[in-house]
């Protein structure tokens, strides 16, 4: 485990998946991140080189078929520490013989964590080190403790978007995105109950909001997630679990009518040889 802290917060990251495992506010004496458990054994996995599930767990590139598990392989790979400063650390994953068997691209994937006061800024950086166009998606999957205070209940919490969201909610069928959305029951707020995730995650497209806030009706502590108008957003919790995932995605699961061609996949990013792509999001604790 590798630790990073300033006067406000202390975080812990493990090299496996470069996964954030602790978000502790030193002044509030509060742990904000789900500490894993039987309901879900992860804390905050990073999704790469796909987000969500592929149809039949397969894709086609240059007439050849490959397989990838749900959310890709990065969360199960060990990253190395590429650079470390006083309030900042960068982890790197590069392609290897194992990744190339089912992902025929060469790359560097860097994950940077930076602390500024009570905010953790996370930057994903992908560099195409090959000679052909590289196709990928990347996304976050942090699980926050709900309730934060053990005197609260899950139903005391709600999510608030900073803009009205009008695209509707996209249902999932066996992990794949349905053809049409259903109306979003409130354009700016989601009042939490454990029942709302009984049919899997809530998935949104074309997000207008820059920030999504997790509030309590009982106290002033909460979380703001800066999603920077990400094209896709997932909200999820395991059945009956005391956490909530707020997931900014640069990519999405296959649709039920997906062709399997990676270049045609919804939300897929194409990166030319030698080029770099970055996405930055943030978590603020209060």
Residue 185 has a pLDDT of 66
* Cα atoms in the 13 Å half-sphere on the side-chain side of 55: 16
Q: What angle do CA 225, 266, 72 make, to 5 degrees?
A: 65
**Residue 180: which of 260, 267, 263, 255 has the closest Cα?**
255
Q: How far apart are CA 253 and CA 266, in angstroms?
A: 8
Q: How far apart are CA 189 and CA 142, in angstroms?
A: 19
Whether 286 and 221 have beta carbons less than 8 Å apart is answered as yes
Mean pLDDT, all residues of the chain: 96
Q: What angle do CA 60, 66, 72 make, to 5 degrees?
A: 105
Whether 12 and 121 have beta carbons less than 8 Å apart is answered as no
pLDDT tens digits along 170-213? 999 999 999 999 988 677 999 999 999 988 999 999 999 999 99
**Residue 247: which of 171, 141, 162 has the closest Cα?**
141
The residue to which tokens 């969360």 are assigned: 75
pLDDT tens digits along 223-269? 999 999 999 999 999 999 999 999 999 999 999 999 999 999 999 99
pLDDT tens digits along 101-134? 999 999 999 999 999 999 999 999 999 999 999 9
Look at residue 194 and give its three-state secondary structure: helix
Whether 71 and 245 have beta carbons less than 8 Å apart is answered as no
β pairing state of 30-31 and 243-250: unpaired
Residue 184 has a pLDDT of 80
End-to-end CA distance of the chain: give it in Å, rounded.
25
- Phi and psi at residue 259, to the nearest 5°: -80, -20
pLDDT tens digits along 8-19? 999 999 999 999
2-285 sits in which CATH class? mainly beta
Task: Considering only CA atoms, give the Rg of the chain.
Answer: 18
């Amino acid at each position: 485990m590798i630790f990073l802290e300033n006067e406000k917060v202390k975080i812990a990251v493990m090299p496996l998946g470069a996964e954030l495992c602790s978000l502790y506010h030193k002044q509030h004496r509060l742990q904000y991140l789900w500490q894993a458990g039987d309901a879900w054994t992860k804390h905050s996995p990073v999704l790469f080189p796909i987000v969500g599930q592929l149809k039949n767990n397969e894709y086609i590139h240059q007439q050849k078929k490959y397989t990838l598990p749900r959310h890709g392989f990065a969360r199960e790979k060990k990253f190395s520490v590429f650079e470390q400063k006083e309030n900042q650390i960068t982890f790197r994953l590069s392609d290897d013989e194992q990744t190339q068997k089912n992902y025929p691209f060469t790359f560097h994937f860097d994950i940077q964590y930076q602390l500024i006061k009570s905010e953790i800024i996370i930057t994903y950086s992908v560099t195409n080190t090959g000679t052909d166009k590289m196709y990928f998606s990347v996304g976050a999957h942090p699980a926050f403790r709900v309730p934060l205070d053990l005197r609260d209940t899950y139903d005391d919490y709600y999510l608030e978007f900073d803009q009205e969201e009008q695209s509707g909610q996209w249902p999932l069928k066996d992990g794949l995105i349905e053809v049409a959305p259903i109306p979003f029951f409130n354009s700016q707020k989601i009042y939490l109950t454990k029942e709302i995730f009984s049919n899997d995650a809530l998935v949104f497209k074309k997000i207008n909001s820059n920030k999504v806030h997790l509030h309590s009706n009982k106290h002033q502590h909460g979380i703001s997630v800066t999603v920077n108008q990400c094209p896709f957003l997932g909200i999820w919790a395991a059945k009956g679990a005391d956490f909530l995932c707020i997931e900014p995605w640069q990519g999405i699961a296959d649709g039920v009518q997906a062709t399997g061609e990676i270049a045609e996949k919804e939300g897929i990013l194409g990166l030319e040889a030698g080029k770099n792509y970055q996405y930055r999001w943030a978590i603020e604790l209060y």
